[in-house]
Amino acid sequence: MKNNVFTAADAEAHLRAGKSIKDLPKGIILTPSAKDLFRAGPTSLTAHTSTPAAAFAEPILPDYEFNWKPGSDPKSDAEIQAFFHSPAIVELKERMVDIGKRMWAREYTDGNGGNLTIRVGDNLVLCTPTLVSKGFMTVEQMCLVDLEGKQLAGKFKRTSECMTHLAIMKRQPKAKACCHAHPPHGTAFAVAGVQPPTCMIPEAEVFLGQIGLAEYRTPGSPANAEVVGNAAVDHMAVLMVNHGVITWGKDIEDAYWKMENVESYCKTVWVASQLNGGKLLTITGGQAKELIELRKTLGMDDKRSTWTECQLCDNAGFQPGTVCNIGDGKASANQSQTALDPEAERLVQVLTEQILTAMK
Ligand SMILES: [Zn+2]
């Protein structure tokens, strides 16, 4: 310190010594940067003085995927218990509790509805308990089951709906976590039996792909596991008719984000359909193709990668008039069913002619 002027370097040394601005002698003049440092406080010092090596470290990409060595599942009761209470598994349980709170706060679940699962081994899956509000779960309530749904650990009884999650994991190895909830807008589409249209919002194309639709079966039943498991092979988000929404991802955060994506997308499409006479704008098939390519670079498959540009944005089921009439027009059962086969078209023509003749 020179001539009673207190510089940033002086302030830093002062803060590092555990002192505050109150400890300064009277009559001191603070430079502007010294004032800034005092305002930011001692917690700012680490970043302020970080070494060049730390500054150039590889940027972090958040990743919550749980990886295990194939064939390494714990076998004995004692091994399973030790695994179930290990730090890595407790961390996942904490994440499930946290996501439960987020689902409940966003009104995606009501009563004891909704459930979460995370695959943690060849034949091991963490799951949420039955009859507990997703907003008020604790780490101690989480359960461990095998892929057949047999409970292996946990004081609380596992949810019956885990059977649907397990059916998805068995059919689609990339599904390492599932999230099920009853968000109002997504569930409304499921109750109306309306498959959400495509080509309306780019992020939905990239992160969700096409949203699937699975016929109604009794929740928790083997029949429900069958239809939803089959639909989820090609769709990371599935609307369960007259029930709710189920999503999967590489980790539980990923699966939950897809739930948010579905709900937000369905809400937006619903609101937009009240505007402009219900005539919604879409991106072009070519633009959709670019998004599907982007989706693939992020490691997500898309069954639509072989579809023609015209087929990609065929939303005839949702918005009449957008039907794809070019090419073979029958790439998928999800596509428009308005294109008649030649036999039926000929029949319509014959009948029309007969009616016209009779009228004459
Ligand atoms: Zn449900």
| Residues in Cβ contact with 276 at an 8 Å cutoff, skipping those fewer than 6 apart | none
Name the DSSP class of 159: P
Q: What is the pLDDT of residue 330?
A: 40
Same domain, 171 and 37: no
Q: For 140-190, write each residue's pLDDT tens digit.
A: 999 999 999 999 999 999 999 999 999 999 999 999 999 999 999 999 999
DSSP 220: T
Does 57 reside within a domain? Answer: no
304 located within any domain = no
Task: Out of 91, 140, 161, 345, pick the active-site residue.
Answer: 161
Closest by CA to 99, choosing from 248, 253, 244, 207, is: 253
| CATH number, position 172 | 3.40.225.10
150 part of a folded domain: yes
Q: Are residues 268 and 133 in the same domain?
A: yes
The pLDDT confidence band at residue 102, using thresholds 50, 70 and 90, is: very high
CA of 246 to the centre of ligand 1 (A): 9
- Has residue 71 been placed in a domain? no
Domain containing 189 equals: 77-278
pLDDT on residue 190: 97
Q: Are 332 and 195 in contact (CB under 8 A)?
A: no
Residue-wise pLDDT for 260-316, tens only, equals 999 999 999 999 999 988 888 888 888 888 888 888 888 888 888 888 888 888 887
Is 20 among the domain residues?
yes
Centre of ligand 1 to C-alpha 114, Å, is 5
In a domain, 31, yes or no: yes
Q: Pick from 224, 245, 278: which residue ends a domain?
A: 278
The verdict on 39 and 107 lying in the same domain is no
Q: Under 8 Å CB-to-CB from 136, ≥6 apart: which residues?
A: 100, 104
Residues 136 and 16 in one domain: no
Q: What percent of the chain has pLDDT over 70?
A: 87
Q: Is residue 225 scored above 80 in pLDDT?
A: yes
The share of the chain scoring above pLDDT 90, in percent, equals: 56
Q: Which of 221, 236, 235, 104 is nearest to 164 (CA)?
A: 221
Q: Is 260 a catalytic residue?
A: no
Question: What pLDDT shows up at residue 91?
Answer: 97
pLDDT at 214 exceeding the cut of 90:
yes
User: 180 CA to middle of ligand 1, Å?
Assistant: 7
One domain for residues 93 and 241? yes
Pair 42, 141 in one domain: no
What letter would DSSP give residue 125?
E
Q: How many domains does the chain have?
A: 2
Average pLDDT over residues 128-133: 96
- For residues 118 and 41, membership in a common domain is answered with no
3-state secondary structure 130-155: CCCCHHHCCHHHCEEECCCCCEEECC
Question: Quick one: 113 and 148 in the same domain?
Answer: yes
Q: Is position 341 within any domain?
A: no
Are residues 227 and 180 located together in one domain of the fold?
Answer: yes
